[in-house]
Amino acid sequence: MRFAIIADIHANLEALQAVLEDIREQKCTHYACLGDVVGYNANPKECLDIIRQMNIPVVKGNHDEYCSTDDPLDGFNPAAAAAVAWTRKQLSEDDRQWLRDLKYQRLVNGFTIVHATLDAPQRWGYVFDKLAAAASFTYQNTPVCFFGHTHVPVAFMRDTVVRGGTYSKFKIEAGKKYFINVGAVGQPRDNNPKAAYVIYDLDESTIELRRVEYDVAKAQKKIRDAGLPERLAERLALGR
């Protein structure tokens, strides 16, 4: 069984299509999605249609939540608020209901998926360091949990202490717990503009981070044509 774990698609259709093609080439058999299907980029409807049709386990991200309610956007940075307001208008009521119905965390084939943290999944905290990872580990009941939200691929491991760092491929060892950020499909923020996702091979017990090139210029043009903030286009080429 080979799972493709995808997160933070953020309405980037070019990145999603490139990642799905790589997933097929890599002969994955199953999928899980860690949320933030929509928000920021220019194809929320198209990306949501694809994910809905795939009929795979999906958890709710903060942008999925913001874009599926009519809550006021006080306290948001202006670019994010503009993207949320625009995205709300692109989605049908049925799409918004589908997003509202997503769960915050799920158990999939013996591993856990969550968008932000396990200690308070609805509060959208950011796990960048060992201290924040340790808080999630306290609530982690499976050896492996995948998360997103920071758009920075990093893996934390707990045996007697918590360790963490960047990774490309590693083996899951028995008796340890792993809290793994799979990076972002649609808006990478680790200074690498390539789309990111992870292959979890349950037979080999391996985790592999994949980076996939896609047509950044096309995604940027759509953002500009939609009248979304210029900063959202610029950051795709920078990977931050």
- When asked if residue 65 is in the footprint of Zn ion (CB under 5 A), the reply is no
Choices 5-13, 17-25, 81-89, 221-229; region in contact with Zn ion by CB under 5 A = 5-13
Q: Which of 8, 14, 22, 95 binds Zn ion (CB under 5 A)?
A: 8
60 vs 96, beta carbon nearer Zn ion? 60
- When asked if residue 64 is in the footprint of Zn ion (CB under 5 A), the reply is no
Residues in the chain: 240
Do residues 8 and 38 lie in contact, with contact meaning Cβ atoms separated by under 8 Å? no
- When asked if residue 36 is in the footprint of Zn ion (CB under 5 A), the reply is yes
Which residues pair with residue 59 across a beta bridge? 103
Do residues 154 and 164 lie in contact, with contact meaning Cβ atoms separated by under 8 Å? yes
Which two three-digit tokens encode residue 223? 């953002």
Site string for Zn ion, 181-220 (x = CB under 5 A): ----------------------------------------
Residue keyed to tokens 């396990």? 118
CB of 45 to Zn ion, least distance (A): 18
Do residues 151 and 133 lie in contact, with contact meaning Cβ atoms separated by under 8 Å? no
Choices 36-44, 116-124, 197-205, 217-225; region in contact with Zn ion by CB under 5 A = 36-44
Closest CA to 148 of 109, 105, 177, 107: 105
Binding site for Zn ion (CB under 5 A): 8, 36
